[in-house]
A and B are shown apart, each in its own frame.
Chain A
Amino acid sequence: MNAPLREQKAAQKLMIVDCDIHPIQRSAKDLYPFLSKHWREHLETFGGHVRQGLIEQTMWPRMMAAGQRADAYPAQGGPPGSDFELMKRQHLDVNGVEFGMLVALSKGGMEERNPDLARALSSAVNDWQLEAWVKRDARLKAGIVVTGEDPAHAVAEIEKRAGDPSFAQVILSPRSSEPLGRRKCWPIYAAAVRAGLPVGLHPAAIPGGSETLLVVEDDIRVRRVAVNRLHAMGYEVIEAGSGAEALAVLEARSDIDLLFTDVVMPGGMLGGELAREVRRSRPDLKILFTSGYAEPGIAGKELAETGSWLKKPYTAMQLAVRLRELLDPVPRVRA
């Protein structure tokens, strides 16, 4: 190699194309904006149904930190690969990633046995890749997740995305119920060829977990109703009867995703004060206030800045919607 070229190369930073980056939902609920009510309820009630014996675990539990780099776990909870800012800081920027190929393994319906749910999940996870990842960072390229069990839908999904340069490949799981060379799968490959896209094969994994809420309410009957509703919606729920109790819970557990608190409570600490205390140790914690009073100003500055407010009495639906608004922030499109 001639010296001038070598010097010129050395002056440039070598950029890379990372062909296997795994974005993941914090929980199935991240896909809800892209699923119909029917499938949201189905997931809440039955969950997925795949060809393995366990629900939340893989059949071969991985080694240290579930096979993920321990420092890739987001501080605010959720699995590694679920926090765009962390991925950007930890990987895309420092490793000079010019293009990052997303391979969205989880909950894309690739190995789902219910054929209609598989269709819904496949479309949802492709929409989700655009909204939650590609629109935030043009370096990232989505992969069209399709199921090999359902070639007709796979073809439709590929054709739907074919003109969009945000998608760079088709993703299939090699753990199909029949070998992928079978002729029934050939239409998928024909569609990929027509779209000018390569087909990437990656086994899908089954992750677990869902959000955990801390409910603070001094009236035990009101609390019971709220807790039962939240359980029915599929959340993990921790209860506290006062601000002090809630602080003790938050000190002991790092897995609380959202604080749902009454504004006015006896025992010395109002909801707003509780929120300010909480903010010191958990600045990112989502907070939803509730109060029978019309005036939410009682929660003060805290509420105006980061919280959300729900007036009592509220319906189960109002509560459900407000929680999802807080837990599923709409990704901002970057200029």
Chain B
Amino acid sequence: MKLPLDGAIDCDAHMSVPNVAALLPFMSDYWRDQIVNRYIDRAGFNLMSYPPRSPFTVRDDWRPTSADKDGLDVLRRDLLDPFRLSTAICHTLHGSIALFNEDMGAEFCKAVNSWVARERLDREPRLRASILVHAQNPALAVEEIERCAEDPRFVAVLLPVMGDNPLGRRLYWPIYEACERHGLSLAVHAGSTYRHAPTGAGWTSFQSEDYVLQSSAFENLIVSFLAEGVFQKFQDLKLVCMESGFTWLPTLIWRSSKTWRGVRTEVPWLDRVPSEIIRERIRLTLQPVDAPRDPKILNRILEQIASDDMLLFSTDYPHSQFDGEDVLPDGLSDELIRKIAIDNPLAAFPRLASAHAGQKEQNRQENVQ
């Protein structure tokens, strides 16, 4: 069904940098020379997880034509206006996060974030963004978070769900510490840098196979965060799973809780049953909705998840997850829709509220002057 209300907050939409040339003005002289002289600017930077011409990556009627000169106009026309959004949190899954050269990767991330601020956030007040970082070197990632954190329109830090190591590992903790320090949420998005095969048993054959397997990567993420004690160490950190699906969640809640009861002495810092921690600390975006269309089945799953706080509205624009404007599955109560569309996103991204407040304050001061 369509959104029945105005002012929803889209927690997972995508924007893309048109080409490498657009990033060059935001790079140092050294890197600008490197990128141009090495011809790195002559090819695209798409992740293998999102082949650009695939009918899944861009919905047919959302595919820009060459008449669409300005990507922001397209975003307004296809996303912000028709869904009557108050805010869209956009994530730029730039391929540079997969580079092995972490200095080059960090410079690309810096340029992408600067481009996002200048070319998108400055021009459209409804947009918010996540900070792209190259997680292979957490120290460089923290530097970039510190650089961007001053800008309240950055509301999260973005990581791909499949990278070098399980994300709960302590080597990544400086990133989470920086998130907590600045009130940034941690947005972990579907996608792989393909440092490893997407399954524990080796390499798969097909693109569709890899996409289905994303949900198991999110299970790995949550188990890793629980086992390593990330939630105990960082009491204020908010973890948002983006484009993860959510219908698999009940079995993970049950299985992690049951296992914890049996062998929790191995991970003594895990001082509460995982089901409680998951419901309190983890949020998931709505699309893709994997449940069958029958509302009875969907509501059964929601009962099993047993929390109205966990789902966050998302379109996953421009990925092809639903037809027309029917972004909501049928059978959700009005009260739940309101929570999913507005209240839960505001709670999951604390910076949204402060940015809203900051904007109001700025307006007030302008009025006073």
Contact = CB atoms under 8 A, between A and B. Distances in A.
Interface of A: 44-47, 49-57, 59-67, 113-115, 177, 207-209, 224, 227-228, 231, 234, 237-239
Contacts of A61: 38, 40, 99, 101, 104
Nearest to B44: A56
Contacts of B101: 60-61
A67 to B, nearest CB: 8
8 contacts: A45-B53, A46-B53, A53-B97, A54-B47, A54-B98, A56-B44, A66-B39, A177-B202
Given A57-B40, A227-B66, A227-B67, 18 more contacts: A46-B53, A49-B207, A50-B48, A51-B197, A52-B48, A52-B98, A53-B47, A53-B49, A53-B95, A53-B195, A56-B44, A60-B100, A61-B101, A66-B42, A67-B38, A177-B197, A231-B65, A239-B66
A207 B95 CA distance: 15
A66 B43 CA distance: 11
B54 interface: yes
A115 B53 CA distance: 21
Closest 4 CB pairs of A and B: A53-B98, A208-B43, A56-B43, A66-B39
B101 to A, nearest CB: 7
A113 B47 contact: no
A209 B42 contact: yes
Given A49-B206, A231-B66, A55 B95 contact: yes
Contacts of B42: 66, 208-209
A57 B45 contact: yes
A59 B206 contact: no
B44 to A, nearest CB: 4
B7 interface: no
B204 interface: yes
B205 interface: yes
Contacts of B331: none
Contacts of B197: 51, 177
B193 interface: yes
B51 interface: yes
Contacts of B204: 113
Interface string B306-325: 00000000000000000000
Interface in B25-81: 37-40, 42-49, 51-55, 63, 65-67
A238 B206 contact: no
B237 to A, nearest CB: 26
Nearest to A47: B51
Interface string B183-208: 00000000011110100001111110
A61 B37 CA distance: 11
A301 B44 CA distance: 39
B239 to A, nearest CB: 23
Given A56-B45, A57-B43, A61-B101, A51 B54 contact: no
Nearest to B204: A113
A57 B65 contact: no
B46 A56 contact: yes
Contacts of A115: 205
Contacts of A59: 98-100
Given A61-B104, A238-B66, A239-B66, A66 B206 contact: no
Given A61-B40, A65-B38, A239-B66, A113 B203 contact: yes
Given A53-B98, A113-B203, A46 B66 contact: no
A209 B67 contact: no
A17 B65 CA distance: 49
Contacts of A46: 51, 53-54, 207
B261 to A, nearest CB: 38
Contacts of A113: 203-206
Contact of B48 (A54, A207, A224, A238): A54
Contacts of A57: 40, 43-45, 95
A239 B48 CA distance: 29
Nearest to A55: B46
A49 B37 CA distance: 28
Interface in B87-143: 95, 97-101, 104
Contact of A224 (B51, B67, B193, B205): B67
Contacts of B43: 56-57, 207-209
B66 A237 contact: yes
Contacts of A47: 51, 53-54
Contacts of A208: 42-44
A67 B40 CA distance: 10
Contacts of A51: 194, 197, 203
A66 B46 CA distance: 18
Interface in B200-239: 202-207, 210
A238 B54 CA distance: 21
Given A60-B101, A227-B66, A49 B39 contact: no
B95 A54 contact: yes
Contacts of B205: 49, 113-115
Nearest to B99: A59
A239 B46 contact: no
A211 to B, nearest CB: 14
Contacts of B203: 51, 113, 177
Contacts of A238: 66
Contacts of A234: 53
Given A46-B54, A60-B100, A61-B104, A55 B44 contact: yes
Contacts of B100: 59-60
A9 to B, nearest CB: 42
Contacts of A60: 99-101
A288 B100 CA distance: 43
A231 to B, nearest CB: 6
A227 B66 CA distance: 7
B48 A49 contact: yes
